Amino acid sequence: MGAKVTLKKIAKELGVSTSTVSKALSDSHEISQDTRDKVKAFAKLYNYKPNNLALKLRHQRSMVIGVIIPEIVHHFFSTVISGIESGANKRGYNVMVCFSNESYQKEVLNIEMLAGGSVDGFLVSIAKETQELMDFRHFEELKEEVPLVLFDRVHPKILCDKVVVDDIGGGFKATEHLIKTGCKNVAIITTPDHISVGLERKRGYLKALETYEIEMNKDYIIHVNEKYDIPTQIKKLLELPNVPDGIFAVNEIYAATAMKIAQDKGIQIPDELSIIGFTDGYISQFSNPSLTTLAQHGYEMGEKAIELLLNRIESKVPDVPYTTEIINVELKFGNSTKKIS
Amino acid sequence: MGAKVTLKKIAKELGVSTSTVSKALSDSHEISQDTRDKVKAFAKLYNYKPNNLALKLRHQRSMVIGVIIPEIVHHFFSTVISGIESGANKRGYNVMVCFSNESYQKEVLNIEMLAGGSVDGFLVSIAKETQELMDFRHFEELKEEVPLVLFDRVHPKILCDKVVVDDIGGGFKATEHLIKTGCKNVAIITTPDHISVGLERKRGYLKALETYEIEMNKDYIIHVNEKYDIPTQIKKLLELPNVPDGIFAVNEIYAATAMKIAQDKGIQIPDELSIIGFTDGYISQFSNPSLTTLAQHGYEMGEKAIELLLNRIESKVPDVPYTTEIINVELKFGNSTKKIS
DNA sequence: ATGCTTTACTAAAACGATTTCGTGTTGATA
DNA sequence: TATCAACACGAAATCGTTTTAGTAAAGCAT
């Protein structure tokens, strides 16, 4: 409730001008010590807080960074956000987070809400629906206004700074580890090919097969369509006449689901079936046995992304070429794979 | 990059006044059809987007709600946010989310960032550190400016609308279920008492013991201090001379941790030990066996919270008394407890 | 020709701050 | 005593928008 205290009101009350009040509060030497003290005392008494909007409008910058991520509950994204916040705060910026919920519509809406002066730059991980629709006009319009950096979920058609995980390398490492620990029939559970990270991880998988001279088996490649029941689609893999003895799943959920299904069928993990997931989140940690995964260093990704963005925002030089940073991934051993012999 | 298009620039370019442009764009009948068309065409051509900050400053309202939650990765909070967003969007508001990371400092900072005009109201779940420090001045100051609704983590000293889970009822139901499925020694893994929800859930636990005339055993009450290693503290419970055969944990992590430790010790779940958690998140779902939990209806909580807030914001009547809504909880059966006989 | 109503527009205030440029009063110096 | 600098403050522009109030010009009736 309560009428807000503004500079103008303080000025009127004290019988001085607003400029005097403003300067007094910022300790300008133009104002006598006497007046400064008086103004400050009055401001404190009435709990004066400057209006953020007015400041931002005046300064033409908000010192706020808008972040749009596709999902809320996602350990990986949460670590990325931590990295972003840390980097932003170090340089005096704040962070606001919005969720697209994997929806194109919400992504557009979020951008509209934050654009138009509210934030100085955007950090976005593209929604699945947007990747499928391939409609990137909102990003193009955005780029006219403020800098944009994409992370994790990116697309070659959008020209800007990017930070991605080494998905190909990760897919390779996972598959290689399964092969090296004795798996003869390694399957992959991935997303449809329009999801960039799923496609890249599959490429890594295929590269590993090639490197170890193993023939690709189409039955061993599952593209999960999230519009339908996920367990049903994964179950098919475990009902093949020639059941795989190694599974590389491109995310935690698929990995944990596969493990549950296998266990229900009485398949021993990891003796009869080894499983590797991507993203070392809570699910992997608390599943039983714990999952071997590819740790993604989300914090590092967040730090890198915000660094690129802030450099772009604060840069005087306009034509720095766009870069794409690649964050390394690392095998993190759980108990869902056999020990290397 | 690119210089932004403003009303002023359009006006100058077209040789009319800014007021004409503004009115033309909003289809005012004061402006001739001819001019309207001309202005609109020009605006579209140069992709004019009104400056949000200026609008908010002018209208003295932002149509944005600020949400501050303590943790990012938390299935429960994510469902609450979904409910908040749904309710907000229905009434034309948008939502911005910030994370306090359970830190008092960050909570204060987040409020400062969003206050001062940026948002029309606040929805907050109090950080653990703030609950411990019991310093609520930032909330008091906030209340002078815009309405505040607390959800889930609340405190009696802060007078405002609140929405909480029926924590006492939940604690009671969980404990009762353990007792009814034959557990003789029911333990609780809870938080320190300054965390409101932990305390309430413990109260429910104690009430159930009383109801079923079971004597309280102090060894069976673990207050986890998150400053130290969590598994170590929980392990003590399972190394008691008289090991409990039922555990009620006030959150998923504690429940899953207890289960892992028990399994490592070769204790059979649920035959030798039953476990119930709170919050039906991914961890409960993907743990093996899946956890019996208390589903919290986060979506409903979010809807209720935003409804209270928007009513307060839009209310013409100033002195509506504060209310506290209580959201029901529900037992959701997993395989970590025995079947009722 | 005078008065009245439309029509179609502009000027200016307002939102709440910052900041540049002026300006009147001191006090010191030549 | 005239001149100049320092001091302490105010006026006004500015950020981008909306909105109220005002005003020319045209059309119409008397």
Q: Verify that A192 and A257 share a domain, yes or no.
A: yes
Q: Verify that B174 and B264 share a domain, yes or no.
A: yes
Residues with Cβ within 8 Å of residue B92, at least 6 apart in sequence = B63
Q: Verify that B29 and B142 share a domain, yes or no.
A: no
Q: Verify that A37 and A157 share a domain, yes or no.
A: no
Q: Verify that B287 and B312 share a domain, yes or no.
A: no
Q: Which of A116, A259, A282 sits opposite B73 (nearest CB)?
A: A282
Q: Which residues are in reach of strand C, CB within 7 A?
A: A 4, 6-8, 18-19, 22-23, 25-26, 30, 49-51, 54-55, 57-59; B 15-20, 23, 30-32, 34-35, 54, 57-58, 60, 117
Q: Verify that A68 and A46 share a domain, yes or no.
A: no
CA closest to A95 among chain B residues = B98
Position B122, amino acid: F
Residue B154 lies in a domain: yes
Task: Dig out the tokens for A17 from the structure.
Answer: 């001008």
Spacing of B16 CA from D26 C1' in Å: 20
Whether residue B80 contacts residue B302, with contact meaning beta carbons closer than 8 Å, is answered with: yes
Other beta carbons within 10 Å of A109: 16
Does the CB of A54 sit below 7 A from strand D? yes
Range of the domain at B35: 7-50
* Nearest C-alpha neighbor of B100 from the set B79, B118, B124, B117: B124
Nucleic chain D contacts, protein chain A, residues 181-220, CB cut-off 7 A: none
For residue A94, the surrounding DSSP H or E stretch is strand A94-99
Residue A14 lies in a domain: yes
B175-221: pLDDT as tens digits: 999 999 999 999 999 999 999 999 999 999 999 999 999 999 999 99
B246-267: pLDDT as tens digits: 999 999 999 999 999 999 999 9
Whether residue B37 contacts residue A40, with contact meaning beta carbons closer than 8 Å, is answered with: no
Task: Dig out the tokens for A247 from the structure.
Answer: 């599974």
Q: Verify that A134 and A280 share a domain, yes or no.
A: no
Report, as an integer, the average pLDDT of B337-341: 85
Say whether A53 and B51 touch across the interface (CB within 8 A). Answer: no
User: What Å distances lie between residue A53 and A6, A58, B55, B56, B97, CA to CA?
Assistant: 13, 8, 10, 7, 18
B257 contact residues in A (CB cutoff 8 A): 286
Q: Return the residue matching tokens 């969720």.
A: A99
Q: Which of A54, A97, A287 sits opposite B286 (nearest CB)?
A: A287
Does the CB of A17 sit below 7 A from strand D? yes
Whether residue A103 contacts residue A127, with contact meaning beta carbons closer than 8 Å, is answered with: yes
Residue B227 lies in a domain: yes
Task: Dig out the tokens for A222 from the structure.
Answer: 């599952």
Spacing of A320 CA from D16 C1' in Å: 30
Whether A117 and chain B come into contact, CB under 8 Å, resolves to: yes
Say whether A145 and B2 touch across the interface (CB within 8 A). Answer: yes
Q: What whole-number distance in Å separates Cα of residue A195 and Cα of residue A153?
A: 8
Each of the 341 residues of chain A gets a pLDDT tens digit; together they read 557 899 999 999 999 999 999 999 999 999 999 999 999 999 999 999 999 999 999 999 999 999 999 987 788 898 999 999 999 999 999 998 999 999 999 999 999 989 989 999 999 999 999 999 999 999 999 999 999 999 999 999 999 999 999 999 999 999 999 999 999 999 999 999 999 999 999 999 999 999 999 999 999 999 999 999 999 999 999 999 999 999 999 999 999 999 999 999 999 999 999 999 998 888 999 898 999 999 999 999 999 999 999 999 998 787 899 999 999 999 999 999 998 76
Spacing of B114 CA from C21 C1' in Å: 34
Q: Which of A81, A98, A283 sits opposite B282 (nearest CB)?
A: A283
Whether residue B85 contacts residue B308, with contact meaning beta carbons closer than 8 Å, is answered with: no
Residues with Cβ within 8 Å of residue B128, at least 6 apart in sequence = B70, B102, B153, B191, B194, B195, B226
Q: Verify that B88 and B233 share a domain, yes or no.
A: no
> Residue B286: phi, psi to the nearest 5?
-100, 0
Q: CATH no. for residue B283?
A: 3.40.50.2300
Q: Verify that A250 and A153 share a domain, yes or no.
A: no
pLDDT at B3 over 80: no
User: What Å distances lie between residue A241 and A216, A217, A219, A246, CA to CA?
Assistant: 16, 13, 10, 15
Bases of chain C below 7 A from a protein C-beta are 7-12, 14-22
> Residue B150: phi, psi to the nearest 5?
-95, 145
Min Cα separation A71/chain B (Å): 9
User: What Å distances lie between residue A72 and A163, B65, B79, B258, CA to CA?
Assistant: 20, 17, 9, 26
pLDDT at B150 over 60: yes
Whether residue A232 contacts residue A261, with contact meaning beta carbons closer than 8 Å, is answered with: no
Min Cα separation A213/chain B (Å): 35
- The pLDDT value recorded for residue A2 is 59
- The residues pairing with A186 across neighbouring beta strands, listed in sequence order, are A246
The number of C-alpha atoms within 13 Å of A6 and in the hemisphere containing its C-beta is 13
Whether residue A220 contacts residue A206, with contact meaning beta carbons closer than 8 Å, is answered with: no
Residue A219 lies in a domain: yes
Spacing of B29 CA from C7 C1' in Å: 10
Whether A231 and chain B come into contact, CB under 8 Å, resolves to: no
The 3-class secondary structure across B208-265, one letter per residue, is: HHHHCCCCCCHHHEEECCCCCCHHHHHHHHHCCCCCCCEEEECCHHHHHHHHHHHHHC
User: What Å distances lie between residue B304 and B37, B151, B191, B296, B316, CA to CA?
Assistant: 44, 9, 26, 13, 20
Q: Return the residue matching tokens 């092969």.
A: A179
Q: Verify that A46 and A129 share a domain, yes or no.
A: no
Residue B191 lies in a domain: yes
Angle between helices B7-14 and B18-25 (to 10 degrees): 110
Residues 39-98 of B with CB under 8 A from A: 47, 49-57, 62, 64, 72-75, 77-78, 81-82, 85, 94-98
Residue B340 lies in a domain: no
Say whether B81 and A72 touch across the interface (CB within 8 A). Answer: yes
Q: Verify that A107 and A24 share a domain, yes or no.
A: no
- The pLDDT value recorded for residue A74 is 80
For residue B176, the surrounding DSSP H or E stretch is helix B167-180
- Cα angle A74-A77-A79, degrees, rounded to a multiple of 5: 110
Overall number of domains in chain B: 3
B99 contact residues in A (CB cutoff 8 A): 81, 85, 97
- The pLDDT value recorded for residue A1 is 52
Instruction: Name the band, by pLDDT with cuts 50, 70 and 90, for residue B103.
Output: very high
Q: What whole-number distance in Å separates Cα of residue A197 and Cα of residue A153?
A: 7
Give first-to-last CA distance, chain A, whole Å.
70
Residues 157-186 of A with CB under 8 A from B: none
Give first-to-last CA distance, chain B, whole Å.
70
Q: Verify that A42 and A28 share a domain, yes or no.
A: yes
| Alpha-carbon dihedral angle through residues B136, B142, B147, B152, given to the nearest 10 degrees | -30
Say whether A94 and B109 touch across the interface (CB within 8 A). Answer: yes
Residue A146 lies in a domain: yes
Q: Which of A72, A118, A141 sits opposite B47 (nearest CB)?
A: A141
Residue B152 lies in a domain: yes
